Amino acid sequence: MGAKQTRSAQKYQDLTDKTGFSPEQIKNLHKRFQQLSDNEETISRENLEKIPALANNPIRKQIIDAFFDKRNQHQNEVGAFQEIGFEQFLMVMSHFRPPTLKTTEEEREAMRKEKLRFLFNMHDTDNDGTITLEEYRKVVEELLSKSGAIGLEAAKAIADAAMLEVASTNVPHMAPDDFYEGITFEHFEQILKGLEMESRMHIRFLDVDTMTMRCGKSKS
């Protein structure tokens, strides 16, 4: 028993180093993980799809896909998992850590890049390094998928306008027969410069165990 405890503590320590979460946060997330996976070692898509609160999310599919995307594991692998273990789960979650007061400028920059890369990978479904118009349309379509026919109709127009915007801001000088292939990561970074991803793309990971309370309305 004691050995097991130390082993799990050791494991948590490893995970802390890898993902930057605090041990408490990892413990919390682990609890949630077990709850989602019905105490199995791994989670499958079905497990995530069953979360009731996700049902109303227009981009549910992309979110779930992101969890099973090997590109989000920092290991230069491509493809998709069928099932993910806790470590992979944590790695995906670690993209949503907030910056702290101690974060240096370079770390912030790296964080921003990492978060943007996560978003980029969500859009770039075929992993060819660019978000093509096709893919972008798909994103907007999904985004508006809950708003019925108007949404679908407008989605194309919006994606097209957005794509054109990217093209014209990033490659202002184009020969008449040039073709803008799609948004590269650099361009992606460029267009989302104003959003301050490093400070906005985060959620609050609880330090204390509130699974029992479940009413953690948190103001920031």
Segment 88 to 117, residues that bind other proteins, using CB under 8 A: 93, 96, 98-101
**Which CB, 80 or 152, lies closer to other proteins?**
152
- Between 16 and 189, name the residue whose CB sits nearer to other proteins: 189
> Minimal distance in Å, beta carbon 7 to other proteins?
25
2 to 31, contacts with other proteins by CB under 8 A? Answer: 29
Q: Using CB under 8 A, pick the residue from 32, 45, 108, 113 that binds other proteins.
A: 32
**What does the DSSP assignment read for 181-214?**
--EEHHHHHHHTGGG-HHHHS--PPPSS--TTT-
Site for other proteins in 198-217 (CB under 8 A): 199-206, 210-211, 214-217
CB of 201 to other proteins, least distance (A): 6
Which of the stretches 8-16, 75-83, 106-114, 162-170 binds other proteins when contact is defined by CB under 8 A? 162-170
Nearer to other proteins, 80 or 96 (CB): 96
Nearest alpha-carbon partner for 113 in 19, 203, 192: 192
Report whether 142 contacts 131 (CB < 8 A). no
Build a one-symbol-per-residue string for 65-84: x at contacts with other proteins by CB under 8 A, - elsewhere: --x-----------------
Q: Which of 43, 20, 23 is nearest to 33 (CA)?
A: 43
Tell me whether residue 125 is exposed, middle or buried, using C-beta atoms within 10 angstroms of its C-beta: 0 to 12, 13 to 18, 19 or more: middle
Identify the CA nearest to 69 among candidates 92, 40, 49, 46.
Answer: 92
Q: For other proteins, which residue of 11, 27, 54, 113 counts as binding (CB under 8 A)?
A: 54
